[in-house]
Chain A
Amino acid sequence: MKFSAWQQSYANKRSSSFRASSGPLDSSSDGSIKSASAIFWLILHGLCCLISLVLGFRFSRLVFFLLFSSPAANIYTAPFRSASELAQTLTLYSTPASTNIELPAANRTAGITASPNSRVVVGRHGIRIRPWPHPNPVEVMQAHRIIERVQKEQRLQFGVKHPRTVIVVTPTYVRTFQALHLTGVMHSLMNVPYDLVWIVVEAGGATNETASIIAKSGLRTFHVGFRQRMPNLWAERHRLEARMRLHALRIVREKKLDGIVMFADDSNMHSMELFDEIQNVKWVGALSVGILAHSSQTGEESSASVIPKEDEENRAVPVQGPACNSSNQLVGWHTFNSLPYVGKSATYIGDREIVLPRKLEWAGFVLNSQLLWKDAEDRPEWVKDLDTLDHADEDVETPLSLLKDVSLVEPLGSCGRQIMLWWLRVEARADSKFPPGWIIDPPLEITVPSKRTPWPDAPPELPSNEKAVTGVQEHTLKHSSKTQTSRSKRSSRSKRKHDPKTVELQLPGRHSEN
């Protein structure tokens, strides 16, 4: 029925276009000739209808195309133009059998025009597809520049009016996962839209490895060495990190850096809103920190042993930070409850147990750097001078030790309700080996198929997985890594499920299962 409707409209169009085209010609006298030609067209039209019915497609248009075809125009440049050309010219016609639109089908019929002067025609139009319909990299870059400019304008209008420099303090040391963590922090800092100064304090002295990682950032960095080496026990590590941070604060004081000091530990995760939020701090601010106390145990074991029934709500991520009353004033602190983990927490680095944070982590505090300057006139009286902490270094757990009056800390992130950074400690064992700079040089020559590996309950290896993948050391989130000589490749993915059990057999000195 659509077909017959089209035939009818086609007949209408033919008659109307005849009216239109004969308009400019002398219409009055050609009465008889007009009726003869009309009859002729009618008969021809009827014949074409019959043929079309039989053949099943619009044969009539094909005939007119053959009779009246103009040189086939390139459909990508031919403008589909006015009604006056319609009666004579028809452009390319695709076979209806191929309804695939990908073909350059300029199936243009002589449709009804809206009016004699209009360019726009009702009816079927071609779907214009350019020869290579894929993104152009130059244009993509230009679009990104436009987006950046728009966002910059948005920041100017709605964002922080007078952004201050962000001074980031990161303690680090060379170890297996240093590259992983430090690159993560570095990429976050590279995206910060404000001026940035990065103070990297390295335990064991400044090394080239660390320097090469942070050189890729393009940020203004101070790479400082700290004479002591990082100890292997977590408690001592936390203390040393506190001292390293104080050392960095002394650098801020010496160089009289102006801005907002924040503590970005290298394994933490920061969101971009964090950097916008800390611009609001006046003197000392406190943020909520989500604690991702990682456990490598499988689900049933940990839930049965670690989390007792009455602490069901602790299954949610524990959060450290300021606690406010209903009028958004600081009344206390949410700290980390380490009771459920007593006896089950990690003691040495690389331990498979959960690594616990302190009661309040350094990362959740931000300071105005002017507090640290030697002779700052604006410094409020409730802030101690940094020098007073020099002798009591051992016990500085949080920046709150710098304050005489803790209640004047400003809670940030809508009073601690927004969590914009997450604390996590994941480390490999101290004696784990990794290629220096994570570059395998020279490339490995010997490749050993993993079938020879004595995995006890391994399924038969698929041939495609035997090929060596050089230079790939898979990072797993497990505490343990292999103490055997580093393999050049990992076995297939199905094997990884067996890892926990098999690793237990191989690692000496592990605690027995709890």
Chain B
Amino acid sequence: MRTWVWVFSVLVVYGFVLRISADQKARTERISGSAGDVLEDNPVGRLKVYIYELPSKYNKKLLQKDPRCLNHMFAAEIYMHRFLLSSPVRTLNPEEADWFYTPIYTTCDLTPTGLPLPFKSPRMMRSAVQLISSSRPYWNRTEGADHFFVVPHDFGACFHYQEEKAIERGILPLLQRATLVQTFGQRNHVCLNEGSITIPPYAPPQKMQAHLIPQETPRSIFVYFRGLFYDVNNDPEGGYYARGARAAVWENFKDNPLFDISTDHPTTYYEDMQRAIFCLCPLGWAPWSPRLVEAVVFGCIPVIIADDIVLPFADAIPWEEIGVFVAEEDVPNLDTILTSIPPEVILRKQRLLANPSMKRAMLFPQPAQAGDAFHQILNGLARKLPHDKTIYMKKHGPKILNWTAGPVGDLKPW
């Protein structure tokens, strides 16, 4: 009898504690992705990844030469390698591996100003693939269909920063069958393969944490944007850069008091985003940018102006419900579009953004935490399992990949 009384009182106390803590938390809403609540899946135990041993000239030496690679927005490839090295999904036995990872840092050749040069990347990738195909039989077994590569550059595995050249080159022929983990995503684009996994660009988590302001600071900016509208070095007239969308934003809204837009680089950039309701995320030379990550982390509703863009983890995150999509041709009516959104919809979007699992899924924290972008990548890879039997090549059957395709310059050894 007494034990029941004890149990009952413990339960009552527990209930009280729960209720009090629920009161204090911000109201958030659970994110149900299109494939169910996949953001909270745990990939451990669902897949095994084998990491190839590449000579350090493909990874460590590049990093030693230029440690800036750790901080720029393409750093996901380096952090993914480090995460996999110590992750429980790693296996040292390639026979039982479901996926094979090649640790190659293709975006670590930086100019003095910090921009990556992609000109040697195709050759580097080719030479790495040659190495792994000659040293181990697993590449030839499937011609790379159970391998994945992290290619976070502007146009993914097309390895060029100019869109026209990238389209001309297309995806590196050797990587046609592999799964590409890339930041670039645009529907019906040559550089996005079917089955690629889109990831967010790297944004430094500690830096963003350091700039958090109290949640009760009222959001008083309606629309916020900081960045270029005209790329005066490469496209002074406008029209090429961002397909004219950024220039249209400037020309239409430069005197609108609701739009806090300029080309400044303020030190309070992160704080200002936390005081804004909408943050514009228009395309630049490529459709993706770290602005999306920053907007999600700071609770500002992203307004995505990029036709046919494929957003990170699009099969797990319902971006339509979280952000606002505006077609590039509708940019002159942006103010009408944004002010005609009913306040309840805006509040719901803010609740979805406030969900901590949403913010975690966009970040690459060190050390890795549950539910972060590393785990979402593994979840994406796990969802593609089990591999279809047809990917395995017949013993002496015809080869699919053409090792001599592509521009002549790519065939030179690296």
Q: Do A and B bind each other?
A: yes
| Residues of A that sit less than 8 Å from B by CB | 9, 12, 76, 79-80, 99, 101-102, 107, 111-112, 114-115, 117-120, 122-130, 133-136, 139-140, 142-143, 145-147, 149-151, 153-155, 157-159
Residue from A99, A102, A150 within 8 A of B346 (CB atoms): A150
Residue from A101, A149, A158 within 8 A of B215 (CB atoms): A158
B206 adjacent to chain A (CB < 8 Å)? no
A146 to B347, CA, bound (A): 10
Q: Are B188 and A127 in contact (CB under 8 A)?
A: no
* Residues in A whose Cβ lies below 8 Å from that of B264: none
Contact flag A149-B343 (CB < 8 Å), given A126-B239, A136-B336, A140-B257: yes
Since A129-B248, A147-B277, A153-B347 are in contact, a sample of 20 more A-B pairs with Cβ atoms closer than 8 Å, ordered by chain A residue number, is A102-B251, A111-B164, A118-B308, A120-B243, A122-B164, A133-B255, A136-B335, A139-B339, A143-B335, A143-B338, A147-B222, A149-B347, A150-B277, A151-B220, A153-B350, A154-B215, A154-B218, A155-B216, A157-B215, A158-B26
| Residues of B that sit less than 8 Å from A by CB | 26-27, 163-164, 167-168, 186-190, 214-216, 218-220, 222, 237-240, 243-244, 247-248, 251-253, 255-258, 277, 307-308, 328-329, 331-333, 335-336, 338-341, 343, 346-347, 350
Please name the residue on chain A nearest to B23 by beta carbon.
Answer: A161
Q: Are A154 and B240 in contact (CB under 8 A)?
A: no
Q: Are B258 and A115 in contact (CB under 8 A)?
A: no
* Residues in B whose Cβ lies below 8 Å from that of A101: 237-238, 247, 251
Contact flag A128-B186 (CB < 8 Å), given A99-B237, A151-B219: no
Residue from B188, B243, B339 within 8 A of A142 (CB atoms): B339
Residue from B239, B258, B307 within 8 A of A120 (CB atoms): B307
* Residues in A whose Cβ lies below 8 Å from that of B331: 128
* Residues in A whose Cβ lies below 8 Å from that of B251: 101-102, 127, 129, 133
* Residues in B whose Cβ lies below 8 Å from that of A115: 188-190
A294 to B168, CA, bound (A): 72
* Residues in B whose Cβ lies below 8 Å from that of A147: 219-220, 222, 277
Q: Are A80 and B308 in contact (CB under 8 A)?
A: no
Q: Are A129 and B252 in contact (CB under 8 A)?
A: yes
A479 CB, nearest partner CB in chain B, Å: 37
Please name the residue on chain B nearest to A96 by beta carbon.
Answer: B237
Contact flag A114-B167 (CB < 8 Å), given A136-B335, A139-B336, A145-B343: yes
A107 to B244, CA, bound (A): 11
Residue from A114, A128, A140 within 8 A of B244 (CB atoms): A128
* Residues in A whose Cβ lies below 8 Å from that of B346: 146, 149-150
Please name the residue on chain A nearest to B341 by beta carbon.
Answer: A146
A151 to B216, CA, bound (A): 9
B218 CB, nearest partner CB in chain A, Å: 4
Selected A-B contacts with CB under 8 Å, 22 pairs: A111-B164, A112-B164, A112-B168, A114-B186, A114-B190, A125-B240, A126-B239, A127-B239, A127-B247, A127-B251, A128-B252, A133-B253, A134-B256, A136-B335, A139-B339, A143-B258, A143-B338, A146-B222, A147-B219, A147-B220, A147-B277, A154-B219
A212 to B328, CA, bound (A): 53
Q: Are B333 and A130 in contact (CB under 8 A)?
A: yes
Q: What 7 pairs between A and B have smallest CB-CB spacing? A: A158-B216, A130-B332, A125-B244, A118-B188, A124-B239, A142-B339, A151-B218
* Residues in B whose Cβ lies below 8 Å from that of A151: 218-220
A116 CB, nearest partner CB in chain B, Å: 9
Q: Are B307 and A119 in contact (CB under 8 A)?
A: yes
B278 CB, nearest partner CB in chain A, Å: 10
* Residues in A whose Cβ lies below 8 Å from that of B216: 154-155, 158-159
Residue from B243, B247, B329 within 8 A of A79 (CB atoms): B329
* Residues in A whose Cβ lies below 8 Å from that of B239: 107, 124-127
Contact flag A150-B252 (CB < 8 Å), given A118-B187, A125-B239: no
* Residues in B whose Cβ lies below 8 Å from that of A125: 239-240, 243-244, 328
B213 CB, nearest partner CB in chain A, Å: 12
Please name the residue on chain B nearest to A142 by beta carbon.
Answer: B339
Q: Are B256 and A127 in contact (CB under 8 A)?
A: no
Q: Are B187 and A9 in contact (CB under 8 A)?
A: no
* Residues in B whose Cβ lies below 8 Å from that of A133: 251-253, 255, 332
A131 CB, nearest partner CB in chain B, Å: 9
